[in-house]
Structure 1
Amino acid sequence: ICNMEKQVLESSEERTFQYQDSLPSLPVPPLDESLSKYLDAVKPFLNQEEYQRTEDIVQKFENGIGKELHQKLLERAKMRRNWLEDWWLNVAYLDLRISTQIHCNMGGPGPYIEHCWPPKEGTQIDRACVNIWHTLKYWDLLRTEKVAIERSGNTVLDMNQFRMLFCTCKIPGLTRDSLGSYFKTEAEGECPSHLIVLCRGRVFAFDAMHEGSMLTPPEIFRQLTYIQKRCYSEPDGPGLAALTSNERTKWAELREYLIHLDPKNLTLLEKIQRSLFVVGLDDSSPHATPEDYTELTRLGLTGDPTARWGDKSYNSIFFSNGTCSAFCDHSPFDAMALITMLSYAEKKIIENEGRWKGSDNVRNIPWPEELVFTVDTKIMNEIGCTKELYYKKVSDLQLVSYAFTSFGKALIRKRKLHPDTFVQLALQLAYYKCHGRPGCCYETAMTRRFYHGRTETIRPCTVEAVEWCKSMLDPSESNYQRLQLMHKAFAKHNKMRKECENGKGFDRHLLGLLLIAQEQGLPVPELYGDKAFTASGGGGNFVLSTSLTGYTRFSGAALPMVQHGYGFFYSIRDDRIITSCSSWKSCPETDAEVLCRTLFQCFHDVLQLIITAQL
């Protein structure tokens, strides 16, 4: 009877991936709905005459080629559970030929400086081994499917992205990259269990398991200390990891060259690809305070290119003053999967006061092995050029990451407003103040209630938002009028978010129709060549590229989508809002620092408006 009880117990516990097969397919929205939403979205960027022209183009599209393409898209959707998945992976990530490490990777600072681990020299390895151990525990939970299934209300969300956190790597190709993922659950079979450590231009590997059980923090400490001692007492290595920061075709050619130079190099590259994740030991000591994450965020995102493997789905970078950062290739997952894992580790670190409270016993485990690549003068020269190019590019980046500490989610909710919408509309106002015109904006919505769903675009720069911004800047407007317009703008944004999360956005739909046309060898429909399409952000032209990193202590950063744009990440906590804003110094009209400071003023303005109007 005990055995039966045990079985019942086990089967009543949800397994991480158990609902994957019962998730609904990604829907294709009706064509007329998508097109009317599109027309609404382009309005703020056109005058009457231009809008009239766009309306004609859209109508022609809807009754002509658009109808045919939509039919073909519906047929594609019948054949697969997610009609967008392969397309999105290719078009948004794997087909890109620019340096994805610089332009597409995402990163974020560890918030440990706020509690257990203030910056302190000499703590790098101590903290790294505790952090790594908790991350390995999470890997173990995933392997045994004990990671809690995420839900939105009562709706189960797709958990597929979590498989990509470990043992996943992008592999450069001459015209298109590919994604290698070697993770397996226990039920599925063997899974790689080694870690890669990058330090002073050298590459080391060691297994995270020994005789069937995981290495403990003291054992990881022994391995990392061995690596560091060797690197500090011997000459620097070639810094091969820097090559991942190249433009993709160039990196693919160099990788081919490396393999021809010595087939052993392929074995070593595969060892990096298959590894659990990459640990980077970086010699810098970024300044960081709970109110100012700027330097830590900047170095996490664009620091030493030899201490990170840009194609790896997860790099955990530890700096010499005990601060740390995550750095990830964006193609296999979106930020929220990463944040869920990092929040788990943070919770455990806080529970244990940042220390290891178990046994200090260290087993006799094999020392780390160094992965020594065969290189020649050509490769050495290429590494040199790559580093030079990398530093030149990232030195053009302006990035600030500040905490707004006057209020946060608690007060915004108390005023019955949605915190995310609050930030987005304040950002619209800040952009309008800085630039004197509406800023087309991309906000990420997640579509994970559908099978393998990832994202849809919310476009926060609505007619309603612009009307409200104008009223805020018009001294003759009454507060009552401003408040009415604000509530309209809030309602519109909340409605759009809901629609996007339910697969009723229009950006991915329009992309699908364009890709069908391309696959059929048809000319690009006029809709996509129209000024309105680009001016409103279509085709990757959003001047504000934004993302909420949730309601946790983790904030992130990403680079602008366009040369004259901004990257804007924010996390909203009970008592504060952490923002990261990036722009390019070489663009005279953008200034991340100014936009961020203006935004903080706008937070006050919006709250003030509500308070004044409610008196």
Structure 2
Amino acid sequence: MAEAHQAVGFQFTVRPDGVDVTLSQEVIKNIYLSGVTAWKKRAILFKNGVLAGVYPASPSSWLIVVIVMMSSLYVHVDPSFGMIDAIKDNLPQRDCMSVQSRAVLSSILFATGLWLFLIYLLRYTLKALLSYHGWIFESHGKMSTSTKLWLSLVRMFSGRRPLLYSFQASLPRLPVPSVDDTIHRYLESVHPLLDGDQYQQMAILAKDFKNSKAAQLQRYLILKSWWATNYVSDWWEEFIYLRGRGPIMVNSNFYIMDLLYVTPTHRQAARVGNVVHAMLQYRRKLERGEHAPLRALGTVPMCSSQMERMFNTTRIPGIETDIVQHLSDRKHVVVYHKGRFFQLWLYTGGRHLLPSEIETQIQRILNDKSEPQPGELKLAALTAGNRVPWAQARIKYFSQGVNKVSLDAIESAAFFLTLDDEPQGYDAAKTNSLDGYAKSLLHGQCYDRWFDKSFTLISYPNGKIGINAEHSWADAPIVGHMWEYVLATDCFHLGYTEEGHCKGDASRSLPPPTRLHWKIPKECQEVVERSYLSAKQIADDVDFHGYLFREFGKGLIKKCRTSPDAFIQIALQLAQFRDQGVFCLTYESSMTRMFRDGRTETVRSCTTEAVEFVRAMEDTAATNTQRLVLFRKAADKHQNMYRLAMTGSGIDRHLFCLYIVSKYIGVDSPFLKKVLSEPWKLSTSQTPQQQLNLVDMNKFPKYVGAGGGFGPVADDGYGVSYIIVGENLITFHISSKFSCPDTDSYRFGQYIHRAMMDIQRLFMPENDRMVNTGKPVPMENGKKQL
């Protein structure tokens, strides 16, 4: 009851001799501190907004320009070529000022105008420099003199100590490729996948499109590129994500795992305490724009716009389309445990809760023995099922009363937190431990994650954690950026006591977390159950395999003088052919964040060169010398395609936007319909790591992330995510569907292992006879590869 009394700011009693007022000093103190913190935050936001707004200049540079202009008055030199005098003669109310006052004011106005002009000049000069991408096409490890000069100019115009959003106004717009180039590269990409007649038919469709409708659609697209900051991103978010009416669980959301080998503490509440506190620190720096912008080569800035919606964001279901709702600073999270929803406040007295205080609050939830309310247990299954039933139920059952209050608490929370009951994580002593971990993070029990939140933090009783992220608001590297910061802060800055608890003392005056209340009628419970059964059918069909490839990693691949990503992508083509006996359209995600509001582009990894290499690997008459020549051609081709995608010359986003324009203006294009309907049977993505370089991998080799993954894109295909961990480890996350008789995630993992080893042997001439002998190679769990 002590907490309840302290929650009241004042009490009063009416007596015959007057009114007796009793103030709670603790609450009044907290109100005061909260107000002070709020004003401090406004001041910091204003300051950082000004700094980012005038970057690469600084407010002090304005003072310097003003002083120079003022000094010119006393030496009778006019650097403005008469403009100061013109301003002075046209000042309003000039008769009310002295001659000297008018001269000073005119100099200040001219200096301010000159300062703003110089800012825009610097920005557009930097934008012009950043529009050059020739550096990315140079051979790795080699840098031409022109590129060195270009980098020096970029550094010179980039200023010092940039904030997170300092470069946004200087980033170039994503260019619209020419139709001829896009069609040419498209036909080149499908050539190895089609027979002669199919290719001729596609070429005829492409030619007809280019000669008839393409020019009109391209003009609209160019017009949009001039008007919008990015001609792709808004349509990509709307039509690829928000307009989808199917379940987002498995089909859209993705997951990120914890550290692979290290668990800092086995106390669930303590781990949550540190991780949540680290997230609050990250959010504070994010809201203030104080994170350093990510830069390629340490110099070329990347767009940071996706990071704005990381916290306080929810995907709201609609009948025809969803929307992404982003709110400003919210001071609570919602916690799910054993079918109950709790609201946990993260601030007290104008400050974040300390890790030890969050641990105390989480332990209170874990100790709570209350039962779920009717309909509460599986309520979150609404976010796992089809979008239309969820949207209808939200309007009908959650638009008023206690249900609306509780739903608002979830949708306005900083993020969603689930306290799971069963331990997960990588365990070398257990077979397929990563498989269960991945499925738990991706879909759980289908009702214990709020799949609409920007991300759900998932905690396990053995101290392991992970994330399930909604995809529409941002791409995986954005969440990965935050996750690296959190894990490094948790392990190396916050730490734990010898008993595994969070460090520091917890305030005993904190009110406990509060239960969210629901009144779920029977009709709504039936909708929840239908959504759950639909989601469970999807979840049960997901075949996952997590595979650690330990034989070699980035270090050895680089010694072979090839790109690690190209090496792995070609190995995936070899594995795919051995598994399925045919080649397929392959998707690899590439970022376009060197442009304003850039998101992703597709690299079509199944090239003619890759196909020729794979066929040579399967041809017993071919020599390793021939195979190695073909491998280098395939790797060079892949690298060039990846670079084209990164620099705005990809294929698929351009064709996608042309198709959207055609639908808007009612133009029918058989070519675009055919292109957009082609299935991606092999969908791949590389999980980035060490974006922040907060952990020295040489000193702490065990503190490596396990990466993350996603569900299969095609019913009869594979999804493969991989992370190149340090110099000697590559982690693969492989997904497919049990319902497809032709796919098997574990089997595909074996084929990947064999393909990686076979390609590596090409660089060892003495092992020429070992390739394609069919001899099995032991895998990590003692099983044999195919």
TM-score (norm 1): 0.92
- Match of 2:317? 172
Instruction: Please identify, of 382-391 and 311-320, the stretch whose mean Cα deviation from structure 2 is larger.
Output: 382-391
- Match of 1:255? 394
Matched, 1:138 2:282: yes
What CA deviation, in whole Å up to 9, does each residue of 1:516-562 have, x standing for no partner?
11000222x121344xx3xxxx4361001111002452411111111
- The 8 Å contact of residues 205 and 370 in structure 1, kept in 2 or not, is answered as yes
Matched, 1:227 2:368: no
Which residue of 622, 626, 646 maps to 1:481? 626
> CA separation in 2, counterparts of 1:385 and 1:175?
20
Which residue of 598, 603, 608 maps to 2:751? 598
Secondary structure of the structure 2 residue equivalent to 1:41? helix
> CA separation in 2, counterparts of 1:14 and 1:331?
28
> CA separation in 2, counterparts of 1:44 and 1:158?
35
- Match of 1:582? 735
Matched, 1:330 2:475: no
> CA separation in 1, counterparts of 2:372 and 2:767?
67
- Match of 2:696? none
> CA separation in 1, counterparts of 2:249 and 2:473?
14
- Match of 2:262? 115
Which residue of 410, 423, 426 maps to 2:571? 426
- The 8 Å contact of residues 99 and 246 in structure 1, kept in 2 or not, is answered as yes
- Match of 2:293? 149
> CA separation in 1, counterparts of 2:427 and 2:741?
29
Tell me how far 1:54 sits from its aligned partner: 1.6
**How many equivalent residue pairs?**
589
Q: CA RMSD in A?
A: 2.1
- Match of 1:69? 217
- The 8 Å contact of residues 317 and 387 in structure 2, kept in 1 or not, is answered as yes
Matched, 1:214 2:360: no
- The 8 Å contact of residues 541 and 562 in structure 1, kept in 2 or not, is answered as yes
Secondary structure of the structure 1 residue equivalent to 2:710? coil
What CA deviation, in whole Å up to 9, does each residue of 1:47-106 have, x standing for no partner?
122212221221121121112111111112111111112211111100001101231100
Tell me how far 1:306 sits from its aligned partner: 2.9
Matched, 1:126 2:270: yes
- Judged with a 3 Å threshold, the aligned counterparts in structure 2 of structure 1 residues 359 and 605 are, in CA distance, closer, same or farther, namely same
Tell me how far 1:385 sits from its aligned partner: 3.0
- Match of 2:246? 98
- The 8 Å contact of residues 313 and 329 in structure 1, kept in 2 or not, is answered as yes
> CA separation in 2, counterparts of 1:300 and 1:234?
25
- Match of 1:441? 586
What CA deviation, in whole Å up to 9, does each residue of 1:87-133 have, x standing for no partner?
1111110000110123110012211x512448x5xx21121111111
- Match of 1:375? 520
- Match of 1:3? none
Instruction: Please identify, of 302-311 and 166-175, the stretch whose mean Cα deviation from structure 2 is larger.
Output: 302-311
- Please, which runs of 5 or more residues in structure 1 have no aligned partner? 1-5, 184-190
> CA separation in 2, counterparts of 1:102 and 1:257?
26
Counterpart code for 1:427: L
- Match of 2:334? 196
- The 8 Å contact of residues 360 and 506 in structure 2, kept in 1 or not, is answered as no
Counterpart code for 2:190: V
Instruction: Please identify, of 385-394 and 88-97, the stretch whose mean Cα deviation from structure 2 is larger.
Output: 385-394
> CA separation in 2, counterparts of 1:200 and 1:20?
44
- The 8 Å contact of residues 421 and 493 in structure 1, kept in 2 or not, is answered as yes
> CA separation in 1, counterparts of 2:678 and 2:288?
39
- The 8 Å contact of residues 558 and 567 in structure 1, kept in 2 or not, is answered as yes
Secondary structure of the structure 2 residue equivalent to 1:400? strand
Which residue of 719, 725, 729 maps to 1:567? 719
What CA deviation, in whole Å up to 9, does each residue of 1:229-258 have, x standing for no partner?
22x343564332121111011110111121
> CA separation in 2, counterparts of 1:57 and 1:12?
52
- The 8 Å contact of residues 540 and 561 in structure 1, kept in 2 or not, is answered as no
- The 8 Å contact of residues 483 and 613 in structure 1, kept in 2 or not, is answered as no
Tell me how far 1:584 sits from its aligned partner: 0.4
Matched, 1:545 2:683: yes
What CA deviation, in whole Å up to 9, does each residue of 1:291-313 have, x standing for no partner?
95221111111212332100001
Secondary structure of the structure 2 residue equivalent to 1:180? strand
- Judged with a 3 Å threshold, the aligned counterparts in structure 2 of structure 1 residues 540 and 166 are, in CA distance, closer, same or farther, namely farther
Percent identity, aligned pairs only, is 30
> CA separation in 2, counterparts of 1:391 and 1:60?
45
Tell me how far 1:338 sits from its aligned partner: 0.7
> CA separation in 2, counterparts of 1:14 and 1:455?
24
Which residue of 446, 452, 457 maps to 1:311? 452
> CA separation in 1, counterparts of 2:554 and 2:495?
27
Matches within 5 A, 1:348-367: 348-352=489-493, 354-355=495-496, 358-362=503-507, 364-367=509-512
What CA deviation, in whole Å up to 9, does each residue of 1:423-451 have, x standing for no partner?
11100000001111112110000000111
> CA separation in 2, counterparts of 1:605 and 1:43?
26
> CA separation in 2, counterparts of 1:116 and 1:229?
23
Tell me how far 1:614 sits from its aligned partner: 10
Which residue of 199, 215, 240 maps to 2:379? 240
> CA separation in 2, counterparts of 1:396 and 1:117?
33
Tell me how far 1:271 sits from its aligned partner: 2.1
Counterpart code for 1:510: L
- Match of 2:553? 408
> CA separation in 1, counterparts of 2:522 and 2:388?
20
Tell me how far 1:32 sits from its aligned partner: 0.7
Matched, 1:205 2:333: no
> CA separation in 2, counterparts of 1:277 and 1:353?
21
Tell me how far 1:182 sits from its aligned partner: 1.4
- Judged with a 3 Å threshold, the aligned counterparts in structure 2 of structure 1 residues 12 and 479 are, in CA distance, closer, same or farther, namely closer
- Match of 1:188? none
- Judged with a 3 Å threshold, the aligned counterparts in structure 2 of structure 1 residues 35 and 578 are, in CA distance, closer, same or farther, namely same
- Match of 2:19? none
Secondary structure of the structure 2 residue equivalent to 1:610? coil
Of structures 1 and 2, the larger Rg is shown by 2
- The 8 Å contact of residues 479 and 613 in structure 1, kept in 2 or not, is answered as no
> CA separation in 2, counterparts of 1:155 and 1:539?
36
- The 8 Å contact of residues 312 and 328 in structure 1, kept in 2 or not, is answered as yes
Secondary structure of the structure 2 residue equivalent to 1:103? coil
Counterpart code for 1:592: S
Secondary structure of the structure 2 residue equivalent to 1:456? strand
Matched, 1:29 2:177: yes
- The 8 Å contact of residues 339 and 372 in structure 2, kept in 1 or not, is answered as no
> CA separation in 2, counterparts of 1:568 and 1:140?
34
- Please, which runs of 5 or more residues in structure 2 have no aligned partner? 1-57, 62-158, 691-704, 769-786
- The 8 Å contact of residues 495 and 503 in structure 2, kept in 1 or not, is answered as no
Instruction: Please identify, of 354-363 and 249-258, the stretch whose mean Cα deviation from structure 2 is larger.
Output: 354-363
Secondary structure of the structure 1 residue equivalent to 2:723? strand
Counterpart code for 1:62: K
- The 8 Å contact of residues 334 and 417 in structure 2, kept in 1 or not, is answered as yes
